Amino acid sequence: MYMCHRLEGIAKSSFLELQTYDPSPLSLLSVTLPANHHSPISLTPPPQPKGPKPIRFPPDSFNPLSNLSKNPIFGGEMAALHLISALVLSLFLQIQISALMVDAAIGVNWGTLSSHRLQPSIVVDLMKENKISKVKLFDADPTVLRALAGSGIQVMVGIPNDMLGILGSSPATSDLWVTQNVSRYMVKGGVNIGYIAVGNEPFLTSYQGQYQSLVLPAMLNLQQSLTKANLAGYVKLVVPCNADAYQSASLPSQGAFRPELTQIMTQLVSFLNSNGSPFVVNIYPFLSLYQSSDFPQDYAFFGGSSHPVVDGPNVYYNAFDGNFDTLVAALTKIGFGQMPIAIGEVGWPTDGAPSANLSAARAFNQGLISHVWSNKGTPLRPGVPPADVYLFSLLDEEQKSILPGNFERHWGIFSFDGQAKYPLVLGVGHGGLKNAENVQYLPSRWCVANPSQDLGGVANHMKLACSVADCTTLLYGGSCNAIGEKGNISYAFNSYYQLQKQDARSCDFDGLGMITFLDPSIGDCRFLVGISDSSCSCIGCGIFVGLWIMSFWVLMYLRILGSL
């Protein structure tokens, strides 16, 4: 079966409050529904309560129905009753649908595990230029949050899994975290924080239950902290889950949460539902293709498949829809079939594996975006796209762990320096991707293998360079895999040299390296130039250095004259 295979909660109360929140005027539309409101809607009138009969208004009183009954358009009181009932039912259904379709948008994940980090202000400008309205973070980095202030971009801040224990055991710590990482930024002209991601894939199978019991206590304390800060109506808690939290033997309709997670998922989804939060899941068709040689390649994309999955009356032509509906089926089995679903991570890498390349990444991401914006939905949720979709990711991160695969460092739709890797239209009214501006590069020079030296003893130097710098593009499936032995040595030397901010000593390698001013890039294999740490502009720095040199020589000249 072509399915990808990664939540907690609180006891259900007798009533849940569904809230539709409009952040601009502090308005709140609340509809109180029974706890089992996700069941099919019954049109049977409720039984009349016992007690005194309702007062009957005389014909000429202020009974609003008496006026309607006199109107020939409505044809009497019964017609008026039917009209009002229809309006109420229509409103109720619209509320149900709107719960699934709230501010759907294409957002991005912004990770910062890179030694070549752009200034946060440049990254924020990059998102604004590309009309990216939502961003998901993996922590609450103050420099990043300060840069987002006043941008209007909705932010999901993240809490690492290692913090779940202390947040769940200490309400005071939870209060402090909310104060320092949420409240202080949510001021006029501040940061538009809409969500807090409590952990990151905490139910991942490989964690062996390490964080499983910590999620809900942390959420309960954080919810109380938000309430104390008067932010509970503005900021929602979510738990990004990996798709291995649920599974299916063969078909999407057979989807169910892993047996050991069923109880905790029921509690968690109840908590999310009662607080108006979506279920956030990370879906990666690329990993299904990467991990299985039997996985049909065309099923991973959105162009139709010669290997569709037939599930009763439903036919699935792509892995994303199949995976999404497996989750819908799992949620239905625990009583929350109408739970809004947001995609926390989805994307396709551009390097580090045979199936990770520019053309495949463009085909997948553009197909995904077109699919979402078409509002087609899925067979189990026709006409209802995901609540939000966060592409993974905005930028490459060359310091990420490569334990899952060498491709882990190459998910960005932009390279580390904010340059678009391939054409991509993010939505209706968007043009192609626009590159970052005002990027401060180091000088145009590179470190390569010295052709006049015997490179026989280079192995240890290569090992040192690649243990620190990123050499994943040199490995099988990488874009630099076929540049030859000397090309491999030069690429490794240069990666290390740029990581060390072009320190001349870092290009020595016992005399085996040399600095060149000629770009050694070969075909699609790009030899990078690092980013400067300087915050001043190139023009400003140049003027400053020029004036300093001029002043130095003027001073020396005057001293010489004075000694004559």
* Active site members: 201, 345
**Rg of the Cα atoms in the chain:** 29
Q: Which two tokens stand for residue 346?
A: 């989805």
412 and 126 in contact (C-beta within 8 Å)?
A: no
- What's 387's DSSP letter? S
Question: What φ, ψ does residue 2 adopt, rounded to 5°?
Answer: -90, 60
91 CB-near residues (< 8 Å, 6+ apart):
none
Q: Distances in Å between the alpha carbon of 94 and those of 44, 101, 102, 200, 371?
A: 19, 10, 12, 32, 23
Q: Pairing state of beta strands 241-242 and 236-238?
A: unpaired
CA distance linking residue 92 with residue 178, whole number of Å: 35
Burial of 426 (0-12, 13-18, 19+ CB in 10 A): buried
3-state DSSP assignment of residue 66: helix
The DSSP annotation for 320-347 comes to HHHHHHHHHHHHHHTT-TT--EEEEEE-
**Cα 456 to Cα 93: distance, rounded to the nearest angstrom:** 74
Helices vs strands, H then E, count in the chain? 14, 19
Contact 237/277 with Cβ under 8 angstroms? yes
Residue 191 phi/psi, 5-degree rounding, is -100, 135
Nearest to 134 by CA among 159, 105, 112: 105
Q: How far is CA 82 from CA 45, 69, 88, 342, in A?
A: 13, 12, 10, 37
**Alpha-carbon distances of 370 from 269, 284, 305, 333, 426, rounded to whole Å:** 29, 17, 17, 30, 9
| CB contact set of 355 (below 8 Å; sequence gap of 6+) | 286, 289, 290, 297, 477
